[in-house]
Amino acid sequence: MLASARYGRMRWGLGRRSRCAASCVLLLSLTFGGIVLGQEPSRKVIVRKEPGYPELARRMHLSGMVKLEVVITPAGAVKSARLLGGNPVFEQSAIAAAKQWRFEAAEKETKELILVKFMVP
């Protein structure tokens, strides 16, 4: 038997019990990670501004979703926004719209992830 075949079998030869235990640890860390790190639940959106559809996206018949991380002041205004995922064609329009959103007030500044959807008009 080749050494590489033996190594591959050793590396991926995890039993069902080991895979189950690893999955449980991963799920628990994701579930309780927010509590351990002190993250608050999502703040409620009070005012949601729809984004303008970019002209380039209109000509290319593009649609999709953009994921943004927004920093929200204690008063509920969006302080800053940055693109985390999605088509860069929608970035400026999504950020401009997100900065006009208003959230419920809180005791401190928070970060939230929001999704902005773009459909072909």
Same domain, residue pair 29 and 51: no
Say how many domains are in the chain: 2
Six-digit token pair at 52? 């303008």
**% of the chain surpassing 90 pLDDT:** 61
| Start-to-end Cα distance in the chain | 61
Report how far apart, in Å, the C-alpha atoms of 111 and of each of 2, 28, 43 are.
52, 22, 9
Supply the pLDDT for residue 120. 85
- Assign residue 72 the CATH number of its domain: 3.30.2420.10
pTM above 0.85, yes or no: no
Task: Give how far Cα 13 sits from Cα of 1, 6, 9, 17, 114, Å.
Answer: 16, 10, 5, 11, 40
Please tell me whether residues 57 and 105 are part of one structural domain. Answer: yes
pLDDT number for residue 42: 78
How far is 84 from 69, CA to CA, in rounded Å? Answer: 7
Tens digit of each residue's pLDDT (9 = 90 or more) over 94-110: 999 999 999 999 999 99
pLDDT at 26 over 50: no
The answer on 57 and 31 residing in a single domain is no
Q: Which residues pair with 111 in a beta bridge?
A: 71
Distance CA 115, CA 42 (A): 13
Residue-number span of the structural domain to which 12 is assigned: 3-37
